[in-house]
Amino acid sequence: MVQAPDSPCVQSELPQALMLLTEMNLSAQHVASLVDKMIQKVRKGELSTGQGLSFLEMKYNMLLSYLINLTYVVLRKCSGEKIEGDPCIDRLVEIRTILEKIKPIDHKLKYQIHKLVKSAVSGANADDPTSFRANPQHLLGDIDEGSEDSEDSEEDTGKETSGTKYSAVYVPPKLSAVHYTGDETAQDRSKRIQERSKKHALSASIMQDLREEYLDTPIEVSQSSRAQQILSKQQQERERYEEEFMTRLPVSKSEKHQRRRLTTGGAPLADEIVGGLGGNRRKRKQPSGGGGRSKGGKGKGYKRRKRQ
């Protein structure tokens, strides 16, 4: 028997290790007794294993093989033997890889397995809400029937479909990944829409500047801003639609306000250009308009008209 070293760390952990080994021994004996009982029931025909799921059978066989190889590795390490280059390591890696790969399939079949076990233990219930879930096996039947109907229709058409060939192999549609927005609030959604519109406007202005810089076309210089150009383009599209379909499109108050605000955006620039003339004109009008009027004059005139 191998004696434990006299280091303080080993001596402190030795009682706990002995306790764990005792528990493992008791658990192994309990599991062995349960397995023996199950084997006896299977041999007597009390447990039927003929109509089980092949997926579960394969999974349990892989788990059993994994435990056997793992127990063998623990035995060699406890005996002080080397495990480097042992075939059991390769088997453990292979089985672990297979168990990791079948996890998505196990997750998909988990509901059906739970449903079958529940119905077998407690009995089937016709009003059970879980019984109304779709069964993928029925979908496969519909696909097979659809392929048979298509083959029958091809045989009936004869010469009309002789030049075309149809394949019964299912081709999945090409779907692109979409960001999940189910947990998004209304505030986040509005913020995302505003950011997208800002990026679109910025990219449009950048592309316009690049066209003006690198293309040989003449550059149009105008007083209107980018927003006014967009408004003019929308107005042209609106007029084209009205002329094509001979109808008038309604204009909301917000659109009228936005159009009025954008169309009057050039007024400050005009004031800067003719500011001097406008200011002098206003200054001339002020003394001429209020020079002959006074409170007394108004009162006298009023009294004079009253006397007449």
pLDDT digits (tens, 9 = 90+) for 97-134: 999 999 888 888 888 888 887 877 776 654 566 555 55
pLDDT class for 65, splitting at 50, 70, 90? very high
Outline where the chain has alpha helix (H).
Answer: 8-44, 54-78, 87-101, 103-122, 136-157, 186-214, 226-245, 253-263, 267-273, 275-290, 295-307
Question: What residues does each domain of the chain span?
Answer: 54-122
Chain position carrying tokens 């204009």: 251
Average pLDDT over residues 86-103: 92
pLDDT class for 272, splitting at 50, 70, 90? very low
Note whether 150 and 168 are within 8 A (CB).
yes
Q: For the beta carbon of residue 263, count every other beta carbon within 10 angstroms.
A: 13
Predicted local confidence at residue 221, as pLDDT: 61
pLDDT class for 245, splitting at 50, 70, 90? confident
Percentage of the residues of the chain whose pLDDT score is greater than 70? 63
* pTM as predicted: 0.37
Outline where 102-185 has alpha helix (H).
Answer: 103-122, 136-157
Lowest mean pLDDT among 39-43, 275-279, 293-297: 275-279
Note whether 220 and 226 are within 8 A (CB).
no
Percentage of the residues of the chain whose pLDDT score is greater than 90? 11
Predicted local confidence at residue 33, as pLDDT: 92
CA–CA dist 207, 148 (Å, integer): 54
Listed residue (222, 227, 181) closest to 205, CA to CA: 227
DSSP-derived letter for residue 47 is: S
